[in-house]
Amino acid sequence: MFKLCVCPGDGIGPEVTKSALAVFETIAKQAGIEYEINEALIGGAAIDATGEPFPEASKVTAMKSDAVFLGAVGGEKWNEMPVSLRPERGLLALRSTLETYANLRPVRMFAGLEDMSPLKADRMKNGIDMVIVRELTGGIYFGARQEGDNVASDEEKYSRKEVTRIAHVAFHTAQTRDKRVTSVDKANVLASSRLWRRVMEEVALEYPDVALDHLYVDNAAMQLIRDPGQFDVMVTNNIFGDILSDEASVLVGSIGLLPSASIGESKALYEPIHGSAPDIAGQGKANPVAAILSMAMLCIHSLKRKDLAEQIEKAVSVVLERGERTGDLMQPGCEIRTTEQLTEAIVREIAK
Ligand code: NAD
Q: pLDDT tens digits for 203-225?
A: 999 999 999 999 999 999 999 99
Segment (H or E) for 168: helix 160-175
Q: Is 242 a catalytic residue?
A: yes
How does the average pLDDT of the chain come out, rounded?
A: 95
Residue whose CB lies within 8 A of the most ligand 1 atoms, among 78, 255, 342, for a mutation test: 255
Q: pLDDT tens digits for 120-178?
A: 888 888 889 999 999 999 999 989 999 999 999 999 999 999 999 999 999 999 998 99
Q: pLDDT tens digits for 221-278?
A: 999 999 999 999 999 999 999 999 989 989 998 999 999 999 999 999 999 999 999 9
Tell which atom from ligand 1 comes closest to the C-alpha of 75. Answer: 32
On the question of pLDDT at 84 being above 90, the answer is no
- Catalytic-labelled residue, pool 48, 213, 246, 307: 246
User: Which pLDDT score is estimated for 126?
Assistant: 82
* Local structure of residue 33 (DSSP, 8 states): -
Exposed, middle or buried by CB within 10 Å (0-12, 13-18, 19+), for 56?
exposed
Pairing of strands 259-264, 268-272: antiparallel
Exposed, middle or buried by CB within 10 Å (0-12, 13-18, 19+), for 141?
middle
Structural domains in the chain, CATH included, are 1-109+255-352 (3.40.718.10), 118-252 (3.40.718.10)
Nearest CA to ligand 1 atom 17: 256
Tell which atom from ligand 1 comes closest to the C-alpha of 71. Answer: 40
Over residues 62-80, the mean pLDDT reads 96
Residues within 6 Å of ligand 1 by CB: 12, 16, 72-75, 88, 91, 255-256, 271, 274-280, 286-287, 290, 326, 328
Give the number of other Cβ atoms within 10 Å of residue 351's Cβ. 11
| CA angle centred on 68, ends 63 and 69, rounded to 5° | 155
Over residues 70-76, the mean pLDDT reads 96
Distance, in Å, from the CA atom of 223 to the CA atom of 147, rounded to the nearest integer, reads: 35
Nearest CA to ligand 1 atom 27: 275
| CA angle centred on 233, ends 231 and 235, rounded to 5° | 115
Nearest CA to ligand 1 atom 32: 74
Contact partners, residue 84, CB within 8 Å, separation at least 6: none
